[in-house]
Structure 1
Amino acid sequence: MTQVPARRTEPTMRDIATLAGVSIKTVSRVINDQGGAGADVVQRVRDAVQALGYRPNLTASSLRRADRLSATLGVLVEDLSNPFDSTLLRAVEERAQRDSVLVLAGSAEDNLDLQRERLGSLAARRVDGMVVMAASGPQDDLQQERSHGTPMVLVDRPPTFDYTDSVTTTNRESSREAVLQLASYGHRHIACLGGRQTVWTSQERRTGYLDGLAEAGLRTRDDLIHMDLKGVDAAERAVAAVLDAAHPPTALFTAQNLITVGAMRVLQARGWKHRVALIGFDDFPLADMVDPAITVVRQDVPLIGRTAADLVLSRIQGDRSAAVRAVVPADLIRRGSGELRPPPE
């Protein structure tokens, strides 16, 4: 039976110095590009580094640096399996890479206890700053970490405390625009299916839906509003229930991408995909490949991520200007499902 190899002992700068025939101080100067060594000495040190497979200990190095930075950034989102969260993380990572900053990421699953644990883990690793999608409920743990001086940017939800940057999108305004779009095609009975009402974005999108109904002169029907949905399965059940009602809607506004997927599945299974109009908040993979293609309110997630990364990296470098409340506009992408007209009465 093949045995698992034991973890090897990492070579040290002392080993490099011995092999290269120089002092440890000289090795340090060469590795950290501090100059002061001749070309032949630099080459000998580099040859020794390659021969021994030496890797710098960045944690130890950060303790010796005057600025005490670790060149790491923590990112905490709700669920990395969600396309929104993974795209956001990728954007932050790409921006951080330009500054040679490593990103450490995790999911808090909209759970305050898990968020507290993840925050503690990132803080223990001495990350230089954090990009956080706050869990629902009190933001005491975030405020405490921020009070320790850790630069922090909140994404997708605004902070409830001062001195902290945030990057959000036009949740309320764009939801209103989606409802007005459906009303302009003749729909008078429009359902709203949303996420957990404890989440700020869900609240904003529901409010935008109500704003749209009011502006279009349509009455609110409580039986057409289904909130607190989590995941595709829950969305499927809610969509099926609203379509089976005595007076079903002719259009659906789904306020989160996984809910849109659930709605799409139900409509396709029933053969109603050309009968019930659908506009979803958040784009998702292959939304433009189905028939009809799904009309969505598309957030510019890469721009949200880059903006958040720019802000936190600027704070890490010493920017002490007033807190920024950045809002990245979302766009209504008309693809077909949101342009269906209701069947004749």
Structure 2
Amino acid sequence: MAEFARRPETNRYGTRPTMKDVAARAGVGLKTVSRVVNGEAGVTPDTERKVQEAIEALGFRRNDSARVLRKGRTSSVGLVLEDLADPFYGPLSRAVEEVARAHGALLINGSSAEDPDREQELVLALCARRVDGLIVIPAGDDHRYLEPEIKAGIATVFVDRPAGRIDADAVLSDSFGGSRAGVAHLIAHGHRRIGFIGDQPRIHTAQERLRGYHSAMEDAGLPVDERWVSLGSTEPERVTAAVEQMLSGPEPVTALFAGNNRVTVTAVRVLAGREAPAGPVALVGFDDIELADLLGITVIAQDAAALGRTAAERLFRRLDGAAEEPSRVKLTTRLLARGSGELPPPPGVR
């Protein structure tokens, strides 16, 4: 038979139990109960046990509405992601939630679907619900709409991409350095015709990864044919067309650099199903993907959990009163060589 949570007792006035009722039952002062309920120091283990037993016996629940009115804090924070279905955001979201929980806060998240209007709508909806702070993976490039909310005290940290047209804390991966390292890795294995397939050109990370690609090619003294670069939607149809175009013609590319995990997945599918008379095509992807280690896919790996954790810790420092100037933290990436990026070009092809 299913067990049901016991309904709270009522006090002698017929209302839900209060901290005064808990204090009376435990034989302690009201301030002691408040300390236990709010996780404050200064209570002996034996006294804390008595209070917890009284709380359990009475079915007492803290009145967060009254606490909000008293302290001006809701103990909740909002997280706005690009796409909840993207596996990159799983460890990031989990890390934010763990930090929030450690601070006694509830995390509320939602997805902008890479739509700037949807991002603004979601962010302002969270502000209207009086979250204490926000962590935002931005879809748009103009965040001046947030200025009144930040001035009103809502702490805000941007992740993965910086805010647009306002000064705000940001925690980023080194997209430029990671991309440059990945392309340099392909060059070191003999490739000279390297294709780059990235995300929408308006997105900061896409711009930075393209910049890293150009930097690596320039450092090696290699020209870049405009046909080797394709930015746009990461939908499979668009990426498939870009891969096939780069691999066709009299001088196809011998290697590909994929600008994010979704591009990498599609590129792997295209390369796996394609007959390659001239030999296999080398591939390096930005972002690790599931089963990449088993499939032998070389990637530039970000630490998504570190991004989320660093952003959340920064947010709670702000909420605790840190009055520092907005800062930008950049986390390093790692090249994980697994085989696909180490394939040499076909003999005689330069």
Deviation (angstroms), 1:202? 0.4
Aligned 8 A contact 1:80 1:107 in 2: yes
* Correspondence 1:202-241 to 2 at 5 A: 202-241=206-245
Aligned 8 A contact 1:12 1:54 in 2: no
**AA paired with 2:284?**
I
Provide the rounded CA distance (Å) in 2 between the counterparts of 1:89 and 1:294.
25
Correspondence for 1:288 among 282, 285, 293: 293
Deviation (angstroms), 1:15? 2.4
Provide the rounded CA distance (Å) in 2 between the counterparts of 1:196 and 1:165.
23
Aligned 8 A contact 1:193 1:229 in 2: no
Deviation (angstroms), 1:133? 0.8
State the match for 1:251 in structure 2. Answer: 255
Provide the rounded CA distance (Å) in 2 between the counterparts of 1:185 and 1:21.
72
State the match for 1:331 in structure 2. Answer: 334
Alpha-carbon distance change, 144 to 12 in structure 1, aligned in 2, over 3 angstroms: farther
State the match for 1:5 in structure 2. Answer: none
**AA paired with 1:206?**
L
* Correspondence 1:162-181 to 2 at 5 A: 162-181=166-185
Correspondence for 2:70 among 50, 64, 70: 64
Between the two proteins, the alignment pairs up a number of residues equal to 331
Q: Does residue 1:260 correspond to 2:264, yes or no?
A: yes
State the match for 2:4 in structure 1. Answer: none
Aligned 8 A contact 1:257 1:283 in 2: yes
TM-score between both structures, scaled by the size of structure 1: 0.85
- SS of the residue 1:15 aligns to: coil
- Per-residue CA deviation, residues 70-123 of structure 1 (Å, 9 max, x unaligned), is 211111111111122222111111122222222111111121221121112211
Provide the rounded CA distance (Å) in 2 between the counterparts of 1:329 and 1:311.
18
- Per-residue CA deviation, residues 206-227 of structure 1 (Å, 9 max, x unaligned), is 1111111111111111111111
Greater mean alpha carbon deviation, residues 270-279 or residues 123-132: 270-279
Q: Does residue 1:15 correspond to 2:16, yes or no?
A: yes
- SS of the residue 1:244 aligns to: coil
Q: Percent identity?
A: 35
State the match for 1:6 in structure 2. Answer: none
State the match for 1:94 in structure 2. Answer: 98
**AA paired with 2:16?**
D
State the match for 2:319 in structure 1. Answer: 316
Alpha-carbon distance change, 52 to 240 in structure 1, aligned in 2, over 3 angstroms: farther
Correspondence for 2:120 among 109, 116, 120: 116
- Runs of 5+ in structure 2 lacking a partner? 1-6, 38-44
- SS of the residue 1:289 aligns to: helix
State the match for 1:307 in structure 2. Answer: 310
- Runs of 5+ in structure 1 lacking a partner? 1-8
Provide the rounded CA distance (Å) in 2 between the counterparts of 1:189 and 1:249.
5
Aligned 8 A contact 2:258 2:264 in 1: yes
Q: Does residue 1:192 correspond to 2:192, yes or no?
A: no
TM-score between both structures, scaled by the size of structure 2: 0.84
Alpha-carbon distance change, 330 to 44 in structure 1, aligned in 2, over 3 angstroms: closer
Deviation (angstroms), 1:246? 3.8
Alpha-carbon distance change, 43 to 272 in structure 1, aligned in 2, over 3 angstroms: same
Note the aligned Cα RMSD (angstroms).
Answer: 3.1
State the match for 1:33 in structure 2. Answer: 35
Deviation (angstroms), 1:284? 1.4
State the match for 1:278 in structure 2. Answer: 283
Provide the rounded CA distance (Å) in 1 between the counterparts of 2:188 and 2:252.
19
Correspondence for 2:160 among 156, 159, 162: 156
Aligned 8 A contact 1:16 1:48 in 2: no
Provide the rounded CA distance (Å) in 2 between the counterparts of 1:300 and 1:115.
24
Correspondence for 2:86 among 82, 86, 92: 82
Alpha-carbon distance change, 173 to 15 in structure 1, aligned in 2, over 3 angstroms: closer
Provide the rounded CA distance (Å) in 1 between the counterparts of 2:59 and 2:262.
46
